[in-house]
């Protein structure tokens, strides 16, 4: 059926548009037929509603207009603390994780912490050099997902995306657990409360990010610099005291002492290396966040990346050197962190020790916050590519992608609850995804350079290829040694996520195909409804309103009363026959007291009689004035609508009856 309705000439539209604006104050005309609404206009009614809105607003702030979004660019000095916080903060727990494994080989094995740390620093250097080439290729900010998808195809891209999503969740869980551990090392009485504290911190981050924290403030560069100053001070002072023989003897609690040396020395080294590989998390942050850098982005990113690696490497080696030479033993109960032991051993329990703990906790909080920026942004990219539900693309009242923020907070909270806030238990889940994403991104670059053949492409290809090879080896090594410690979960989860993303894509694609209107294609048409069904519980004003509307839709109107008790029903029929003369009343006895089932079945039978004209169900509904009054009605209308929603060829029409009541005294008019 071709288009049959008359065309509106251009010149008439302006005139018509004028008539289409029912409220000139609220709707400001931008263009013919296009208006702008001044302000968020969700009306709030009732004292309780207004109080709730006040609480909501003080938590989440005033709404921000889309045009208010800023894209500030930062100098390297300001960008460094933000982009490097994730990586540098891993120095707070990486050494501890290495030594925790080595301790299984007896106290003597702890001296192997230095060689393991040096091996890891080598990997850091290889990955960093490789990433300088990714920065060259993607000056707009690449990210593992884009680099893998563009160069390797959809499937590797989705694997990288799934790995990154898992990583972001673990960044939050691990960083917050480690931050709380730094805090409870300082205040041991809080140890039993570490899970509630961690959950509270997540809640604060969720609310803060829904408000749309500006990452760019001084507030966000301070923790990194404070940590750097304090930790370098600690390391220098520690090395000075150690070299001059002024450090006291270290005596750990007796029950911390490792058992006799195990003979599996090499395997132990490999496992310690796997645990320490967590040191590489966050290395990719610079290549993802290039958009916040001032031009020349490429050079500034390179500077930031190398500075980050040098700072991290120095701290990591410093902590490793001091811990292994003092012979610190990690607390098997995770009551005190290794870094806390180290600081206490070097400086005693004074102000400096407190500063180390607090600045560590703050840096880890900042690191967790980076994931609250990265995960929702990743979600937006994936939603735009139709691999994730639409909701992830929606930006809330403060321009923050709310669904992603809430999803990340929820998942991280679940992990923290399951693992009781233990960093050591979370680490095996963390590292796998990080290295998978590294490997895919760098492997993708090999193909990129072969296609693009820019100046120096051969060197770049070799650097990325070597990086991919090394991180690939580490990925396999981590999967094998940590498989039974939790890495298997990630190995299951990543394919599951990939399948889900594929299903989501497929759904949206099919939906688009079915909904598409091709020019000249017949438009889907509904004729007027053939029959109008009015479900009724009683005969009252609300019902007569619905009947009147139903009469305007169809000449075949039927009232249906589902009855539990036929005696009551026959009384209703008597009243009906007296007062309603043109609409037949059908009574359906439902022996099982199910109200919606028989109605659904009746409507379904009607809709099957003729597929071309819809059945209209006209539902009379009470609308109480106050929220609590809704509790006094059984929401049967809502249940019926839900139930009819899935019946084809049925149009559901709500006829609201607004009930005006007073709290006490006579009825309002």
Residue 633 touching its own copies (CB under 8 A): yes
> Following DSSP, what letter does each residue of 331-354 receive, concatenated?
-TT-SS-HHHHHHHHHH-SSHHHH
Residue 61 touching its own copies (CB under 8 A): no
Residue 216 touching its own copies (CB under 8 A): no
Stretch that binds its own copies, among 98-106, 189-197, 411-419, 552-560 (CB under 8 A): 552-560
CA distance 635 to 624: 12
Stretch that binds its own copies, among 130-138, 300-308, 441-449, 588-596 (CB under 8 A): 588-596
Residue 591 touching its own copies (CB under 8 A): yes
At closest approach, how far in Å is the CB of 23 from its own copies? 4
Residues 490-509 close enough to bind its own copies by CB under 8 A: 503-504, 506-508
Residue 574 touching its own copies (CB under 8 A): no
Stretch that binds its own copies, among 173-181, 204-212, 242-250, 631-639 (CB under 8 A): 631-639
Contact predicate 227/80, CB 8 Å: no
At closest approach, how far in Å is the CB of 388 from its own copies? 9
Site string for its own copies, 330-369 (x = CB under 8 A): ----------------------------------------
CA distance 314 to 205: 30
Residue 54 touching its own copies (CB under 8 A): no
Beta bridge partners of 293: 74
Residue 44 touching its own copies (CB under 8 A): no
Contact predicate 521/546, CB 8 Å: no
Residue 211 touching its own copies (CB under 8 A): no
Two tokens, residue 173: 């869980």
Q: 115: helix, coil or strand?
A: helix
Place of tokens 């990219």: 381
Q: Which is nearer to its own copies, 194 or 561 (CB)?
A: 561
297 to each of 290, 304, 311, 312, 410, how far by Cα in Å? 7, 10, 21, 22, 35
At closest approach, how far in Å is the CB of 642 from its own copies? 10
Figure out which of the listed residues 489, 532, 544, 555 binds its own copies, where binding follows CB under 8 A. Answer: 544
At closest approach, how far in Å is the CB of 528 from its own copies? 4
Residue 622 touching its own copies (CB under 8 A): yes
Gap between the terminal Cα atoms of the chain? 51
At closest approach, how far in Å is the CB of 404 from its own copies? 14
Residue 541 touching its own copies (CB under 8 A): yes
Residue 549 touching its own copies (CB under 8 A): yes
Figure out which of the listed residues 64, 197, 358, 381 binds its own copies, where binding follows CB under 8 A. Answer: 64
Two tokens, residue 613: 């004209």
Figure out which of the listed residues 246, 455, 579, 612 binds its own copies, where binding follows CB under 8 A. Answer: 579
Residue 2 touching its own copies (CB under 8 A): no
Q: Which is nearer to its own copies, 244 or 662 (CB)?
A: 662
CA distance 345 to 326: 9
Q: 453: helix, coil or strand?
A: coil
Q: Which is nearer to its own copies, 298 or 590 (CB)?
A: 590
Place of tokens 């080696």: 317
Could you tell me how many residues of this chain bind its own copies (CB under 8 A)? 135
Short-list 365, 372, 379, CA closest to 409? 372
Residue 406 touching its own copies (CB under 8 A): no
Q: Which is nearer to its own copies, 293 or 652 (CB)?
A: 652
At closest approach, how far in Å is the CB of 214 from its own copies? 18
Residue 122 touching its own copies (CB under 8 A): no
625: left (phi over 0), alpha (psi -120 to 50) or beta: alpha
CA distance 664 to 631: 18
At closest approach, how far in Å is the CB of 290 from its own copies? 25
Residue 71 touching its own copies (CB under 8 A): no
Residue 394 touching its own copies (CB under 8 A): yes
CA distance 640 to 652: 10
Nearest 5°: phi and psi at 340? -65, -45
Nearest 5°: phi and psi at 306? -70, -40
Figure out which of the listed residues 58, 244, 514, 611 binds its own copies, where binding follows CB under 8 A. Answer: 514
Query: What DSSP character marks residue 388?
Result: S
Share in percent of the chain as helix, strand, coil (round to 5): 65, 5, 25
Contact predicate 28/36, CB 8 Å: yes
At closest approach, how far in Å is the CB of 131 from its own copies? 34
Stretch that binds its own copies, among 240-248, 427-435, 489-497, 580-588 (CB under 8 A): 580-588
Stretch that binds its own copies, among 156-164, 194-202, 384-392, 425-433 (CB under 8 A): 384-392
Short-list 368, 370, 366, 377, CA closest to 399? 377
At closest approach, how far in Å is the CB of 553 from its own copies? 8
At closest approach, how far in Å is the CB of 383 from its own copies? 10
Figure out which of the listed residues 48, 55, 65, 473 binds its own copies, where binding follows CB under 8 A. Answer: 65
Q: 3-state SS string over 153-204?
A: CHHHHHHHHHHHHHHHHHHHHHHHHHHHHHHHHHCHHHHHHHHHHHHHHHHH
CA distance 393 to 400: 10
Q: Which is nearer to its own copies, 100 or 600 (CB)?
A: 600
At closest approach, how far in Å is the CB of 369 from its own copies? 23
């Amino acid at each position: 059926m071709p288009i049959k309705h008359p065309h509106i000439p251009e010149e008439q539209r302006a005139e018509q548009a004028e008539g289409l604006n029912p409220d000139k104050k609220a709707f400001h005309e931008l263009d013919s037929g296009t208006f702008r609404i001044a302000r968020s206009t969700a009306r709030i009614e009732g004292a309780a509603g207004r109080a709730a809105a006040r609480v909501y607003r003080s938590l989440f702030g005033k709404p921000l207009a889309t045009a208010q979004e800023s894209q500030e660019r930062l100098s390297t000095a300001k960008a460094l603390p933000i982009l490097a916080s994730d990586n540098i903060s891993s120095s707070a727990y990486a050494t501890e994780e290495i030594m925790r494994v080595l301790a299984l080989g007896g106290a003597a094995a702890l001296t192997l912490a230095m060689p393991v740390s040096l091996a890891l620093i080598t990997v850091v250097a290889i990955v960093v050099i490789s990433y300088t080439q990714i920065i060259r290729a993607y000056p707009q900010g690449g990210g593992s997902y884009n680099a893998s998808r563009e160069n390797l195809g959809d499937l590797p891209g989705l694997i990288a995306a799934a790995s990154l999503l898992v990583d972001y969740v673990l960044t939050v869980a691990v960083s917050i657990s480690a931050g709380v551990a730094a805090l409870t090392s300082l205040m041991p009485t809080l140890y039993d409360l570490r899970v509630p504290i961690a959950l509270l911190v997540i809640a604060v981050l969720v609310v803060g990010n829904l408000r749309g924290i500006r990452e760019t403030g001084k507030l966000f560069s301070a923790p990194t610099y404070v940590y750097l100053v304090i930790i370098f001070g600690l390391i220098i002072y520690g090395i000075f005291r150690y070299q001059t023989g002024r450090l006291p003897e270290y005596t750990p609690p007796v029950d911390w002492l490792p058992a006799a040396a195990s003979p599996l020395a090499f395997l132990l080294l490999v496992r310690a290396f796997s645990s320490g590989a967590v040191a590489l998390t966050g290395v990719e942050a610079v290549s993802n966040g290039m958009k916040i850098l001032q031009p020349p982005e490429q050079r500034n990113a390179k500077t930031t990346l190398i500075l980050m690696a040098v700072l991290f490497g120095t701290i990591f080696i410093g902590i490793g050197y001091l811990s292994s030479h003092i012979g610190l033993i990690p607390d098997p109960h995770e009551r005190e962190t290794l870094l806390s032991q180290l600081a206490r051993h070097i400086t005693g329990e004074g102000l400096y020790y407190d500063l180390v703990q607090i600045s560590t906790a703050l840096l880890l909080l900042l690191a967790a916050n980076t994931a609250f920026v990265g995960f929702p942004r990743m979600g937006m990219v994936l939603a735009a590519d139709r691999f994730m539900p639409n909701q992830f693309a929606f930006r809330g009242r403060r321009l923050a992608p709310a669904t992603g923020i809430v999803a990340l907070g929820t998942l991280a909270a679940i992990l923290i609850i399951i693992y009781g806030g233990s960093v050591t238990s979370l680490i095996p889940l963390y590292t796998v995804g990080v290295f998978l994403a590294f490997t895919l991104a760098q492997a993708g670059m090999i193909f990129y350079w072969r296609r693009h053949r820019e100046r120096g492409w051969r060197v770049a290809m070799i650097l990325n290829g070597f990086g991919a090879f090394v991180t690939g080896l580490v990925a396999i090594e981590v999967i094998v040694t940590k498989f039974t410690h939790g890495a298997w979960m990630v190995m299951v989860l990543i394919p599951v996520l990939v399948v889900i993303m594929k299903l989501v894509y497929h759904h949206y694609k099919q939906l688009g195909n079915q909904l598409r209107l091709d020019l000249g294609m017949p438009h889907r048409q509904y004729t007027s409804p053939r029959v109008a069904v009015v479900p009724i519980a009683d005969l009252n004003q609300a019902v007569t309103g619905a009947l009147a509307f139903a009469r305007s839709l169809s000449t075949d109107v039927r009232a249906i009363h589902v009855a539990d008790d036929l005696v009551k029903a026959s009384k209703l029929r008597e009243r009906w026959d007296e007062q309603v003369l043109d609409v037949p009343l059908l009574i359906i006895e439902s022996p099982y007291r199910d109200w919606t089932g028989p109605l659904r079945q009746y409507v379904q039978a009607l809709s099957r009689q003729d597929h071309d004209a819809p059945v209209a169900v006209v539902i009379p509904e009470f609308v109480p004035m106050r929220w609590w009054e809704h509790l006094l009605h059984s929401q049967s209308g809502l249940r019926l609508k839900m139930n009819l929603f899935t019946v084809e060829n049925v149009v559901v029409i709500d006829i609201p009856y607004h009930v005006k009541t007073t709290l006490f005294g006579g009825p309002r008019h």
